[in-house]
Homo-oligomer: A and B are copies of this chain.
Amino acid sequence: MSDYIAPLKDMLFVLRELAGLDAVAALPGHEEVSIELAGAILEEAGRFAGKVLSPLNPVGDRHGARWQEGDVVTAPGWREAYAQFVAGGWNALSCPVRHGGQGLPRTISALVEEMWNGANVSFALCPMLTRGAIEALELCGTEAQKALYLPRMVSGQWTGTMNLTEPQAGSDLAAVRTRALPRPDGSYRLHGQKIFITYGEHDLAENIVHLVLARTPDAPDGVKGLSLFVVPKFLLDADGRPGTRNDVRCASLEHKLGIHGSPTAVLTFGDREGAVGWMAGEKNRGLEYMFIMMNAARYSVGLEGVGLAERATQRAADYARTRIQGVEAGARSRDKVAIVRHPDVRRMLLQMKSRTEAMRALATVVAAAMDTAERHPDAGQRRQSQSFVDLMIPVVKGWCTENAVEVASLGVQVHGGMGFIEEAGAAQHLRDARIMPIYEGTTGIQANDLVGRKVALDGGQAMSRLIDRMRDTERLLAQGGDETLAALARRLHEGIAALSRATAFVVATQASDAPRVAAGAVPFLHLCGLVAGGWQMARAALAAHRHLREDAQDTRFYRAKLATARFYADHVLTGAPGLAETVVDGADGVLAIEDEAF
């Protein structure tokens, strides 16, 4: 199959009709932003994604990143591609201008990021982690640290990592044991082992800036004793250039189900004299900083889900359009047809397409809210936008990544027997997708964050405001005077009712009986995603309906938007009432069973 093709038209539709790029462009500091600028950037990025990154995706899968005596060699062509990526200024896209970035709104850079993920998620992980590290240093680094590290990290000359996990400390970071011993010169010596470190070692860049959670000798137990340290792979010389090798080594790489192109390292700190590091921010506040950085990373992993789902959908549609097999049901002709004509194949493709579009729309709307929260002149607007972002981040992360696995799995299914053969490429997407609901916090952890901190803590207010916005859309659908819009209104109504009911349960129960809520937290997260996605599909249908009424251009495109929204409503959103039942009633079985019964 041909390479990834950036869905420019769909993306511009989302920017224009759903995410409100005009409003983003009206924010202070984004005066240069316009739909034309967005189009030009997306087109250029799409070319890079399709021509450079996409062809390297199967190469990375087959070749993998290879460990050689502590060094890591990426797959053939990856070094050159990364150099091009840096030279093209892509790494700096959404980074702050004061450190050499281009300061593009998240609304646009999120779509560019989706492209990297669609073309080659293993590659995209490297700049994604670097951006996370940049944000953390921005937040808590000293001025000297910022000056030393940020310009080269923003350009992409150096990359960044997040070092949290240890063998005994996965989801539970309270169990982190890595030690940081203070030295008279103000630096620290770190000793410990970190695992699952994405791009913890590689040959793409001249230095790697590790951000490491560790404990000082006097730190309290648990999460309140973790501090954050900057530990470069190469210590910087007097001119700020990479000099002496630091005492951090890659002991091995993991043998993984997917994302083979991306090295997942076991890093050993301080096997010899201790890895030299400097504290970033205040002592014992490391987890707090990491969480801020992780929020951005969680959103980015959601974008991985969107990009991968788009790619799997493109591949499956391409196969379905060209694979000739069987005759058409109900047709007079006995001629063999492409399998895209078979209703169940269409159904699968529409599952893939409609979920991908719903995810993209939701993620971009959240990105626009990030921009609003950062720059809107009105404090109330900033606050409201931020509360929407906070509410939605676990949903974007959890729902988009779970969807990505299902979409990729459907992609295999569309291919029939060929889907199971690695050469066809569909299987790689499933293997690559499977990590997404796990890393940067499993879906269970996202769901606990959602019900606890995001819904119950404010008594359901942020969710109420969201539901009000959804009801506005429902009203517009009902007033549309159109049969399809009316059908969408009915399904959205049921979805909103289910979400309200489940939210009321969460708010009423969390304080008194948290395990009861936790037993249905993931179904609640799915419900939120399903309904929020349905809301966006409904908004897309309204926009398409308006265009079809008002002008005669792109009628095919807009008719497809209506049909896709209709499909989503009848095949995906129909799951909402059942999920609400599970959230409200489902704890008995979960809590009643004894551990020994498993």
Contacts and interface: CB of A to CB of B under 8 A. Distances in A.
A588 B488 CA distance: 12
B419 A438 contact: yes
Nearest to A569: B589
Interface stretch (A201-209, A235-243, A272-280, A557-565): A557-565
Interface string A401-423: 00001000100110011111111
A345 interface: yes
A108 interface: no
Contacts of A254: 420-421
A420 B578 CA distance: 30
A416 B172 contact: no
A579 B347 CA distance: 14
Given A321-B598, A330-B515, A523-B571, A593 B434 contact: no
A569 B592 CA distance: 14
A547 interface: no
A435 B515 CA distance: 37
B570 A588 contact: yes
Given A321-B595, A564-B593, A447 B412 contact: no
Interface string A513-527: 111001111110000
Contact of A257 (B256, B346, B422, B571): B422
Contacts of A329: 448, 514-515, 518
Contacts of A569: 589
A257 B329 CA distance: 31
Given A257-B420, A582-B570, A588-B566, A172 B325 contact: yes
A129 interface: no
Interface string A494-516: 00000000000000000001110
A444 interface: yes
Interface string A158-201: 00000001001011101100000000000000000001100000
In the complex, which of the residues A439, A594, A597 has the most CB atoms of chain B within 10 Å of its own CB atom? A597
A352 to B, nearest CB: 9
A178 B566 CA distance: 44
Interface residues of A, number: 109
Interface stretch (A41-49, A147-155, A334-342, A389-397): A334-342
Of A430, A519, A590, the most chain B CB neighbours within 10 A belong to A590
A233 interface: no
- Most B CB contacts (10 A, CB to CB) among A353, A434, A487 go to A434
A452 to B, nearest CB: 9
A344 interface: yes
A587 B564 CA distance: 12
Contact of A325 (B170, B412, B559): B170
A515 B347 CA distance: 11
Nearest to A568: B589
A332 interface: no
Contact of A416 (B171, B330, B578): B171
Interface in A289-332: 317, 320-321, 324-326, 329-330
Contact of A592 (B320, B566, B588): B566
A443 interface: yes
Contacts of A421: 254-257
Given A422-B257, A514-B329, A515-B343, A427 B438 contact: no
Interface of A: 165, 168, 170-172, 174-175, 195-196, 254-258, 317, 320-321, 324-326, 329-330, 336, 338, 340-350, 353-354, 405, 409, 412-413, 416-423, 427, 430-431, 434-435, 437-439, 442-444, 447-448, 484, 487, 513-515, 518-523, 556-557, 559-560, 562-571, 574-579, 581-582, 585-598
Ranked 6 nearest A-B pairs via Cβ: A567-B589, A560-B597, A344-B444, A343-B518, A317-B598, A566-B589
20 contacts: A168-B324, A172-B336, A342-B444, A343-B519, A344-B522, A347-B519, A347-B522, A347-B586, A405-B409, A409-B434, A419-B434, A419-B438, A484-B588, A556-B594, A559-B592, A559-B597, A563-B593, A567-B589, A570-B588, A574-B578
Given A417-B439, A557-B597, 13 more contacts: A256-B421, A257-B420, A257-B422, A346-B593, A353-B598, A354-B589, A409-B409, A419-B438, A556-B596, A564-B597, A571-B589, A574-B579, A578-B578
